[in-house]
Structure formats: C-alpha cells, structure tokens
Amino acid sequence: MNLFIDTNILLNFYHFSKDSLEELEKVFVLQNYGKISLWLTDQVDLELSRNREAKIADALKRFLDEKPSSGIPHIARGYPECEQLMNALKAVNTSRDRLLDKVKNDINSKTLYADTLINEIFKKSTRIPLTDSQFTSSKRRSDLRSPPGKNGSLGDAINWEALLEAIPDGQGIFIISEDGDFSSPLDNERLSDFLSEEWARRKKSIAILHKRVSQFLSINFPDARVAAELEKDILIVELANSGNFAKTHQVIEALTKFTSFNSKQASDIADAFIMNPQVAWIVTDEDVKSFGNRILTDHNSTLDHNQAKAFISLLST
C-alpha cells in the first residue's frame, strides 16, 4: 500500500492539529512492519525544513496568547477563594514557564517528539530525488493551469510528477493532504477528477485522497486504535504465520518488550503456540518457553478451557 503525506500534514504536528502525534506513531508502526510503503519527495523534505520554524513560532504565539490572567478586580479581593485562585494561577504560570523552557530547548536541538518521529519515518521512506524532468513537467503543468498547483507555485506539481515518475505501473497511491489543489471542487474530501483520471490513465491504477492521517487509518486500518496495541497485533499475526525458527525467535523477542496483553491478544498468542509448528517445535527454547509461561500465568483464567489445557500441555514438554 503506497502512501504519500504532504508537507502541510506533517507541519500540523508542530502546531494545533485535529490529529495527535499518536496517529503519526501508527503510521510509523505500519511502515516499520511493511504494511505501508511511504514515499518521500525532495520537495516535501525541503518544504518541511523551510517552514518548520514559522509553524512552531505561530504555535508558541497562540500558546502564549492564551496565558491565564493574574489580574483580579478589587471587588473580588478579600475572599478566601481569591487567594486560592491567585495561588492556582501562579502555579499554572510557573508550570507553563518550565514547560516552555524545555520545549524551546528541544526546538533548538530539533529533538521535539515530532522531529524524532518524522525523522524515523523519513529514514524508512522511499525517497524520490528531484530531477530536471520533474521540474520541467511541473512547470509545463503550471503553465497549462493543470492541477495540482496554484499562483505559479510548483510544489504540489513537483510532488505529483515525482509520484507519477517513481511509483511502478499498476500500483495505486493514497495521498494525505489538506491542500485544495489536490481535491475536487465538487467535494473537497476526494481527489479531483483530473488527477484521478490522469493516474488511472498513466499508472493503470487508482489514486485516493484523504484529508487527515486519522481518516486514512480509520478506513484502511480500522483496528489501529493505539500505536502500541497495533504493533502487538501485527507481531502476533507474524508469530502465527512464522515460517521458520529464526523468525519465531525474532518475533518473541519483539513481543517480550511489552508488559501487558489484552485477553484477545493472549488467546491469539496461545493459538500461535499450539497451531504453528514453527513455534511449538522450539517451545523448550528458553525465550519461547519463558514468554509462553508468562502469557499463561497472566491469562490462564481468561483463556478458553480447551485452549488453556492444550497450552499447558505444550509448555510442560
């Protein structure tokens, strides 16, 4: 599943956004386990670097503008509640100042959580270098007033031409962008007919637009509610489908880092142990046996009776 995230979406994670950083964490997990292939253009990287400071500056300004007032009219003074309020406001402002000091340090060192997460996503993305042919095609597209693009700006056109050039024929693309240059004038929630038809004609596949990361995830990965839970679920499926001992050890090691599992996850793990011979045959290996016993200890009461009996028997070998 090919995915392209536009710069305006990434910049929102430095500002006030309808999507939390949790949504971006889910993208990272899905990318890390090969569920999506994220494509990164040089243009997006350039735009993000160029606009990061301005976006953060505006976010800080809005944050500071909402600073609680310490002014209290004289008519309210002399009441016990007045002193309580003044102390509370002082505590809030002190905490705010401490928070801002830490945030500003991370801004300057580019170690905000958004920075770290986006950098990790970029490292695992397929980068599309900017080429002369992309630039020429984008300029021609702009001159012809063909979408995407506005007011002589080539950014969106370059991204589109880069995707057309790099993604193999027969493969589709999901685009996440708030930019109206991609959307239909009749329905801003879907890709314009011009672009949709162009992708179908040139790539023999489909292109789909989403306005938010959460929208893309809810439609395509409806069970991806929490990033950590999503990662557990993916790993459990990998355990159930493990085709060799090395893969089993690798997945067990990854699962061991989690401190808890819900009842369904525990049941699915037990099934993987019982049903997959690539797990069952090495159940006496220390890491596999230790993890299995941990699941049994924590979830024996919630497992199906027959399942628990089979799990206990296996771990007793």
- What's the pLDDT tens digit per position in 201-253? 999 999 999 999 999 999 999 888 888 899 999 999 999 999 999 999 999 99
Would you say residue 2 has pLDDT above 80?
A: yes
Task: Name the β-bridge partners of 173.
Answer: 207
Domains of the chain: 2-44+119-220 (3.40.50), 227-315 (no CATH)
The predicted pLDDT at position 17 comes to 83
Q: Give the closest residue to 306 by CA, choosing from 282, 280, 279, 270.
A: 270
Task: Tell me the mean pLDDT in the region 28-47.
Answer: 96
Q: Is the pLDDT of residue 86 over 90?
A: no
Give the residue among 215, 250, 247, 262 at the shortest CA–CA distance from 27: 215
User: What single DSSP character describes residue 2?
Assistant: E
The answer to whether 122 and 40 are in contact (CB under 8 A) is: yes
- Residue 77, SS3? coil
Res 175 pLDDT > 70: yes
Phi, psi (rounded to 5 degrees) for 258: -85, 140
Quote the pLDDT of residue 195: 96
pLDDT at 71: 73
Rounded-to-integer distance, Cα 81 and Cα 195, Å: 61
β-pairing verdict for 126-128 and 37-41: parallel
Confidence at residue 9, expressed as pLDDT on a 0 to 100 scale: 96
Phi first, then psi, for residue 181 (nearest 5°) are: -65, -20
Q: What is the pLDDT at residue 151?
A: 67
Q: What is the mean pLDDT of residues 253-276?
A: 95
Q: Is the confidence at residue 177, as pLDDT, over 70?
A: yes
Query: Nearest CA to 220 among 12, 27, 39, 32?
Result: 27
Is residue 19's pLDDT more than 90?
Answer: no
The residue that leads in pLDDT, 273 or 96, is 273
Q: What integer pLDDT is reported at residue 70 of this predicted model?
A: 63
For residues 157-185, one letter each, b for 16 or more C-beta atoms within 10 angstroms of the residue's C-beta and e for the rest, the string is bbbbbbbbebbeeeeebbbbbbbebbbbe
Of 143, 179, 142, 175, nearest to 157 (Cα)? 142
Nearest 5 degrees, angle CA 164-CA 168-CA 169? 85
Q: Is the pLDDT of residue 23 over 80?
A: yes
Q: Could you give the C-alpha distances from 175 to 156, 197, 225, 296, in angstroms and in order?
A: 12, 15, 21, 43
The percent of residues in the chain predicted with pLDDT above 70, rounded, is: 98
Beta strands in the chain (DSSP E): 2-5, 37-41, 126-128, 173-176, 207-210
Average pLDDT score over residue span 163-172? 96
- Return mean pLDDT, the chain: 93
Where residue 116 falls among pLDDT bands split at 50, 70, 90?
very high
What does pTM read for this prediction? 0.83
Decide if pLDDT at 159 tops 70: yes
